[in-house]
Structures are given as structure tokens and as C-alpha cells.
Amino acid sequence: MSEILAVVINIIIGLAGGLAVGGGFVAFLVVLDIIPRLAQISKSYQHICWLEGAVVSGAMFWTAAEFFNWRFSFFSLSASFVGVFAGLFVGMLAGALTEVLNVFPILAKRLNMGNFIILLLMSMVIGKVVGSLFDWIVFRAM
Amino acid sequence: MIELNNHSTPTLYLRLRRKVTLPKGSFIYLGQLAQLLVEPELEGKLKQIIIYKPTEQDGNLVLINMLQIIKEVKTLEPDLKLEFFGEPHILIELVKTKPAANLFLLTFACILLFIGSGLAIMNFHADVSMMAVHQKMYTLLTGDVLEHPLLLQIPYSFGIGAGMMIFFNRVFKKKFNEEPNPLEVEMFLYQESLDQYVIAEEYRKGQKRSDLK
């Protein structure tokens, strides 16, 4: 009897935890405006339900893959393909953070550099790319 | 020819701009501040009315109230009826000739951003154990366990750069889309908040001055 109880409690806790994490994850994406931004760029406001579906199915697929230790055996370049898209996502995330969006206007106004915003933006982007490469190529010990 | 009114009293329709930038040291004329709709004979004269003579004390920002304008116009043309639309005040920014940007500061800012954002992304990776995740992803996709899945990580790094550029809608000078990107929206909102604060402050100061009189 107690085994059934243990199973049921486990299921409830798992569901509750998943609910909380899922809600938090979606809230994170909403706050950063990533999905609306993508819809704006691809001019696909009507099909936004597809984007939402992609997020949900992606989260579920990769969660399962991680917990159940799935393994496929695609060719090596598939890793590059996935890597580029992962990078694109992280890049958009980084662009949406407050530290970028609120720092730049103030920086431009204070230092009187409104015309050079593009230059400052580019140095930031290149800095991130180089930092990331640094992390993987030079920090081999970690 | 638009029939502006069919009574004998001429009417001046006035719409103040929200904000103007004017050179420092010169007087402020009505024509610079507002759009005027009035009988053509009066238009030239009205545009030349001096609304305000800025002094050194005023600094860079001057707030002109609609009441001041009405007073000046009525002094010149007592019979004129005034109707106005829009905000009842206008913010004037007085600038000297545009100062050239400081090259030294610019270089400093670029280097700061370059190193700072590199540091931020490295911190982010350490925070979320990106290395372990990449290894797991690589194993998931190809089945080999590899300690440094560079094939995944190098495209990933370039993807970060591309992602930020997509977000900000530009590659150097080229734009992808005509719509404003979030950075431009933020800059606009910041400027708006600044202006609103200045306007409120100026009203408060004006109120204090008139209380003391």
C-alpha cells in the first residue's frame, strides 16, 4: 500500500515541479520579448502559434533526451548545425538583457556618442563572440 | 482658398511642437515654436513675434508655457481669437555648435564594451555549465563522447554574434527591416522620460517663483 502511495506522491511532486519550471521558463522568454521579436522579423504574426509550439516541443524533447540519455548517431556536422542555432538563441537572449538595452541609451547620451552607437554595439557583439571562443579554445583545462 | 472663418474676428489656430533644438544665444520666435493657421496677412507678422529672450541663467533647457504665447500675441493683436491644439507647453533645447565627439573617450568605451561583454558571456557560460551541456548535446547527436566538442562550440560562438545582430536588426550599416529595433525604442523611451522629468521640474520651479512674488 505504501508503495502505491510513494508512487503517487512522486508523480504529484514531479508534475508540480515541472509546472513551476515550465511556467518560469516561459515567463523568462516572454520578459525578454524573443518570440515577438522573431515574429516581427519574419513578419509572421498570424503564425505565432507555430513558434509557441516549437518552444514547447523543443523543451519537452530535449528534457526527455537529457533524462533518458538518448543517443542518436547523426553525422558530425549536425552538431555544427545545432550549435549555430543554439548560439543564435543565446545571442538574442544576450541582446535582450537589461544591461544592454538600458546601458546604451545612457552611455550614448552621457558621452555624447549618439552617432557611434553602431560602433559601440559592434564592439559589444565582437567581444561576446571572442569571449565565447576564448572559453572553448583557450580554457581547455575547464 | 480655405475659408478660415466667416465672422469678422480673425482666429489663430496654434499647435505647439513638443520639442525643438535652437542655437544658443538667439531670440526665440513664435514661428520656430509652433504651426500656425491664420489669415495669410497676419501669418508673417505673427511668426516674427519674440516669445522669449533666453538669459544665461536658463541653462540649456527652456520651457515655454502656452500662457506666455497668448500674452505676447494678445499684446500685438488684441482682437485675435486663439485656439490651440496639442500639449500646452514646448521644451526648447539650446545648443551651441555641435561638439565633436571625443575620440579618446570613444576608443575607451569600445574597449570597455569589448572586454566587458566577453567577460559577461564567460560568466554566463560558467554559471549555466555550458560546457557540460555542450558535451551532452554532442553525445546526444552523434553518440561519441568528446571532452571538447569544438565542432559544436565554434559555430555556436559565431551564432551568438549573429543572434545579437538579428535582435538589433543590423549588420554594421545595413538594416534588415524598416521597423525599429528594441534598442531604438529604448533610446526613444529614455529621451521621453528625461523630457517629461524636465518639464515637471520646470513647472515646479516656475510655481515656486510665482509663490515667492
Whether B95 contacts chain A with CB within 8 A? no
In the block, cell 516541443 appears at A57
**Which pLDDT belongs to residue B173?**
53
Task: Tell me which chain B residue has its CA closest to the CA of residue A61.
Answer: B140
DSSP string, chain B: -----SSSS-EEEEEE-SEEEEETTS-EEHHHHEEEES-HHHHHHHHT-EEE---GGGTTEEEEEHHHHHHHHHHH-TT-EEEEES-SEEEEEEE-SPPPP-HHHHHHHHHHHHHHHHHHHHHHHHHTTHHHHHHHHHHHHHS---S--HHHHHHHHHHHHHHHHHHHTEETTEES-SSPPHHHHHHHHHHHHHHHHHHHHHHHHHHHHHHH-
Name which of A1-15, A122-136, B162-176 the model is least confident about.
B162-176
Cα A55 from chain centroid (whole Å): 10
- Whether residue A10 lies within 8 A of chain B, CB to CB, comes out as no
- CB of B171 within 8 Å of a chain A CB? The answer is no
Look at chain B and count its residues. 213
Give the predicted TM-score (pTM) of the model: 0.69
Query: What separation in angstroms does the CA of B55 have from each of A64, B21, B58, B133, B211?
Result: 71, 16, 6, 64, 21
pLDDT of residue B47: 78
Comparing CB atoms, the residue among A41, A108, A134 nearest residue B177 is: A41
**Predicted local confidence at residue B178, as pLDDT:** 63
The interface predicted TM-score (ipTM) is 0.79
pLDDT digits (tens, 9 = 90+) for B96-135: 766 666 778 888 888 888 898 888 888 888 899 988 888 8
pLDDT tens-place string over residues B22-62:
877 778 888 888 888 888 887 777 777 777 777 766 667 77
